[in-house]
Amino acid sequence: MRLFRGLWGRIGLVMFVTGLALSPGLWDSVRLLRMMGEGAIADYRLKQLPPEQYIAEIETALAVRDGDMARSLIALAEAQNVDVPTELVAELNALPPVDLGNVVSQGWNCIVNGDFDSEAGFACVVATDLTSVGDVRDLVAQGGNYLTGQPVNYFTLGIASVGLTLTGATIATGGGMLPLRAGASFLKAANKVGKMPPRLVAEVSTMLARSINRTALDEALAMARELRLGEIGKPLGRLFNPRSVAAVTDLATDIGRIGTVGGVRAMKLSVEVADSTRDVKVLAKTAEKYQDKFPAVMKMLGRGVVRIADLLWTIGGWFAAAALWLLSMAWFALRSTTKVARFTGRMMVRGRAVA
């Protein structure tokens, strides 16, 4: 019996390893779960899309003369080995590289309304923040609300305090911190016009609200009102605890990384689907992976870039199939082993009887 028990243990191990290797899609699911923060979700979903969907989106972009999106979609389609009709490429090449009327319009929209939908409009936002005027105004307004017991927009307060520090660093480094400064500017501006996801804002706001230092806020407000911006860095450094500041800085960094790759459109498309700081980090890594194709990825997949809830059913099915395969093989092996053992036992008994 010991012999057969040892043999059964080895058979079980072989079946387990073989089952993992042969179960359809199992290794894809393991890779997807392991690399879901590195763009693997987008990789998987893009491979499932039919070529016709790429062509339809390209045609739609060209129909509204959206050259930037059409260019990104064509690059993504070609990367996915989708044949793009030559007439669509020719239509894209016929579009003007820059729509000057739109550029002027967006710049004016920023000046009048504080909103932005293009690089021109966003350049106005960043330029305003680099003067520190906007951040000082927001710090004084929201900080004053906190000290007087009025409702506080902690998200705006946190971004403004970090933004003032980033402005000094951007100037000191000759623009080296501009992507991070741009990320903070985008977050604050998008929040003001109601374009930030409520869950993401709530996550960051709760963290900031729990860590605010009233004494440091008093000092910072006094300096801000007197425009003593060269001294304000010290109280701002104590305004929130390091963990909260790191969370805001990381969020601005990730948004800035997305903006560096795909500009304002990429940042807007990203915050539309992000419900948490983790989502933004996944989107930033996906943007760096796809580069100029990232706007097209967002157009094709939307929330599918960061959502895995629906994929869990597929992944669960793969693991279940592996388990069922393993159990069926184990059952078959157990029956076979039992039959062999019984047959061998009968033969041994017969041998003794003959002797």
68-85 residue pLDDT tens: 899 999 999 999 999 999
Rounded alpha-carbon distances, angstroms, from residue 81 to 6, 22, 28, 50, 54: 51, 28, 20, 11, 11
As a whole number of angstroms, the distance between CA 265 and CA 271 comes to 10
As a whole number of angstroms, the distance between CA 1 and CA 285 comes to 56
User: Which pLDDT tens digit goes with each residue over 307-348?
Assistant: 764 444 455 545 555 555 555 556 555 555 665 556 565 666
- Amino acid 312: pLDDT: 46
User: Which pLDDT tens digit goes with each residue over 14-50?
Assistant: 555 555 554 555 555 555 555 555 566 788 788 889 9
- Amino acid 126: pLDDT: 75
174: left (phi over 0), alpha (psi -120 to 50) or beta: left
Mean pLDDT (whole number) for 179-196? 86
As a whole number of angstroms, the distance between CA 99 and CA 106 comes to 11
DSSP annotation of 85 reads P
User: Which pLDDT tens digit goes with each residue over 232-250?
Assistant: 888 988 999 999 999 999 9
Q: Cβ(305)–Cβ(43) under 8 Å?
A: no
Alpha-carbon Rg of the chain, whole angstroms?
Answer: 30
**Residue partners of 144: CB distance under 8 A and separation at least 6:** 150, 221
* Closest among 161, 181, 175, 308 to 239, alpha carbons compared: 161
269: how many CB neighbours lie within 10 A of its CB?
Answer: 22
User: Which pLDDT tens digit goes with each residue over 88-97?
Assistant: 999 998 887 6
Percent of the chain with pLDDT over 70: 67
The full length of the chain comes to 355
Instruction: Give the orientation angle of helix 178-192 with respect to helix 133-147, to 10 degrees.
Output: 50
Q: Cβ(145)–Cβ(214) under 8 Å?
A: no
